[in-house]
Amino acid sequence: MTRLVPIALVVLWSSGFVGATLAARSAPAETTLLWRYVVAVVPLCAWAVWTRRRYGARFLAREAVIGILGQAGYCLGVYRAADLGVLAGTSALVASLQPPLVAAALWVGSGGRTDRRQALGLLTGLAGVLLVVGGDLGATGGTAGLTAVGLGTLSLTAATLVASHWPEPPGHGVMDSLAVQYVVALGFFAAVALATGTAAPPRDADFWWAIAWLVVLPVFGGYGSYLYVLRTSGPVVVSAWLYLTPATAAVWAWVMFDEPITVHAAIGFLVAAAGVAAVVGLRRPDAQDSSAPCPTSASRR
């Protein structure tokens, strides 16, 4: 699991940028996000009821904050950027600024102590993602689109840091976190969609195909994998894996939309992979990242 889940994270997380592009063809971001969470919440709530889960006030408060930042804030930024015409690969590129943001925040919080190998790996990965889709920046949705996905990335960064520094009460797993966070995100997007008059779904089969894509791949697969790697390996490692998402998103876009993959993108993928290897490649599979929080219930199981 420790070796396979990060790979699944990269593939499934990057599928979300493609799904946002698919959905933007049929409905505005607020409509897509509302119905994405409506569909996702049903099986999660059914699971929680069937297993008779009990959540205390501390766990609910922690997951609500993470849900607002990591679900509502991040997704709204990415999907709004897709509405404004930002390419899937470019959106993934901007989102890949998260690793150095997380590392910088942890560096400040630790009083300036840092792992030189990790720092070099993060810088190498950043150079790689700039090579992957850097040439597409001039063909995006403009300043507004890049600002939207940038704000979403800051929101996800904040969620990662909160999850790392706010100890989780024992006895809860990834499914518990998903259930609470998605209910909170659903409430947020329901309020936004109703306020903007965008709650009604379009009568378009392509819209529901996009919703199915978004629920199965990035919602359960991508974010579930993200929480697992965060719990077991820490914030720097889970963020470093996201360096591989721009190249993977470019492959998704090539398959789905026939967008060409350039030579500099292929070179960038190799550079980004080298950066990720520098951060996580020398770790033992069962090693805990030095910047990770105390082991949670999920990591003890």
Check: pTM over 0.85? Answer yes or no.
no
Q: Judge residue 60's burial from the number of C-beta atoms within 10 Å of its C-beta, 0-12 exposed, 13-18 middle, 19 or more buried.
A: middle
CA 259 to chain centre: 23
DSSP letter, residue 2: T
In one-letter notation, the amino acid at residue 123 is L
Separation between Cα atoms, residue 145 and residue 80, nearest integer Å? 7
- In Å, how far are 32, 94, 120, 131, 226 from 266, measured between CA atoms? 32, 18, 21, 8, 25
Q: Is 247 helix (H, G, I), strand (E, B) or coil?
A: helix
pLDDT tens for the 301 residues of the chain, in order: 677 888 888 899 888 888 888 888 889 999 999 999 999 999 999 999 999 998 999 999 999 999 999 999 999 998 998 888 877 777 777 777 776 667 666 665 555 455 556 556 656 666 666 665 555 555 555 678 878 888 998 898 899 888 888 888 888 888 899 999 999 999 999 999 999 999 999 988 889 999 999 998 988 888 888 888 888 888 777 777 877 777 788 788 788 877 766 666 667 667 666 666 666 654 444 444 433 333 333 333 3
Separation between Cα atoms, residue 258 and residue 301, nearest integer Å? 43
